[in-house]
Amino acid sequence: MITYEEFEKVDIRLGRIIEVNDFPEARKPAFKLRIDFGPEIGIKRSSVQLPGTYVKEELMGLLVCCVVNFPVRRVATFDSEVLTLGFKNTEGVGYVLVTPSKDTVKLGDKLA
């Protein structure tokens, strides 16, 4: 079990997907994303296992929650800078993304 103080160290921010590319070099089906977190954090990259759950067109412009203070993780030939959060898809491969139910928040807002 972790403490509340430990959980507060995880920096989860809101971003908007601005670019989606195929990632054929990945071991499991994945996309390469560019996500805009606003002026404070800027644009970051993430590798996500979403094929089978989403098509690229669905992802463009989508608001997503990401951990922005983990170290960069090398995935095949790609440096994933943030962890895009999701739940395992029970209807197939990949994940279902964590998104806000309303877009009345701004890019870069921290999960509270």
pLDDT tens across 90-102, in order? 887 789 999 999 9
**pLDDT tens, residue by residue, 36-82:** 999 999 999 999 998 889 999 999 999 999 999 999 999 999 999 99
pLDDT in tens, 74-91: 999 999 999 999 999 888
Q: Give the distance from CA 49 to its chain's centroid.
A: 10
* Nearest-angstrom CA–CA distance, 49 and 54: 10
Which domains are seen in the chain, by residue range? Answer: 11-97 (2.40.50.140)
Segment (H or E) for 17: strand 12-22
Phi and psi angles of residue 88, each rounded to the nearest 5 degrees, phi first: -60, 130
